[in-house]
Amino acid sequence: MEWTLGPRDTWDRMAAFLRTIPQRYPTARALLVVSAHWEEPVVTVQTGERPPLLFDYYGFPAHAYELTWAAPGEPALAARVRELLGRAGIASQEDAQRGFDHGVFVPLKVAFPEPTLPTVQLSLHASLDARKHLELGRTLAPLRDEGVLIVGSGMSFHNMRTLMRPGSAREASQVFDAWLRETCEAEPALREDRLAAWSQAPAARAAHPREEHLLPLMVTAGAAQDEAGRCIFRDEVLGASVSAFEFGAVA
């Protein structure tokens, strides 16, 4: 849609980055997406064969509620996710009615405008505990060898109150973004310890008053296990520094 809350090109660089995803991961056969916008008291796996879209936002133009992105689900992948969780003693449940929320279909509609890859969404755990989500990622690591791209959809800076005041997010976002980049590119054991204690980082709560937009990163970092992380995108959006990270070797 036409952007009116700042420069018209505010999202252009991020959109260009998202369009590189299919070329960056050409061997992916399916997507497992952890979005900031789904929390459950028990980790929940989406199991529908044709998930609808969940328009979980308000105040946008009418056409924003008419978007389509008809990616197929994959019940077999959902079952495999639950199998891995069960082996690790992590309780899970399934939801056959759940649709793709905007943390899934907005970025992936840009990355995959022709949605042919099977896509399954996985919830956050409502505890919002960082170590729990790192463990969740470690448990799901075998999927990487099965052609599944594990995607964390959140935002590295998510303080909407400051984002809506031009210029007020810049300093805190730069401080936290520098810490996050140093952390994600650190030796894996150190990376995990630092991510688990993220709330002690400089400007942490200024960047994330509530942690749900950071936790998808924890899952992807956990899934990398002892492999390296790297920053693959950085931009300034509404005056805030934002980054994207990749973990593990790319096939």
Q: Can you give the pLDDT at residue 206?
A: 94
Q: Which two tokens stand for residue 20?
A: 């590189």
Q: What range defines the domain where residue 95 resides? A: 12-246
Q: What is the CATH number of the domain that holds 229?
A: 3.40.830.10
19 domain residue, yes or no: yes
Burial 137-147, CB ≥16 within 10 A → b, else e: bbbbbebbeee
Nearest to 211 by CA among 111, 124, 112: 124
Query: Edge to edge, what strands does the sheet with 92-95 contain?
Result: 92-95, 43-46, 119-125, 30-40, 148-153
Q: Across the chain, how many H-helices and E-strands are there?
A: 10, 7
Provide the angle, in degrees to the nearest 10, between the axes of the packed helices 215-224 and 130-140: 40
Q: Is there a domain that residue 4 lies in?
A: no
The predicted model scores a pTM of 0.94
Residue 233 lies in a domain: yes
pLDDT tens digit at each of 251 positions of the chain = 777 777 888 899 999 999 999 999 999 999 999 999 999 999 999 999 999 999 999 988 899 999 999 999 999 999 999 999 999 999 999 999 999 999 999 999 999 999 999 999 999 999 999 999 999 999 999 999 999 999 999 999 998 778 766 667 889 999 999 999 999 999 999 999 999 999 999 999 999 999 999 999 999 999 999 999 999 999 998 888 999 999 986 65
DSSP-based helix, strand, coil % in the chain, nearest 5 = 40, 20, 40
How many separate domains does the chain show?
1
Does a structural domain hold residue 222?
Answer: yes
Tell me if 3 is assigned to some domain: no
215's CB contacts (< 8 A; 6+ apart) are 34, 36, 124, 128, 130, 133, 154
Phi, then psi, of 109 in degrees rounded to 5: -65, -35
Q: Is residue 5 part of a domain?
A: no
Whether 1 maps to a domain, the answer reads no
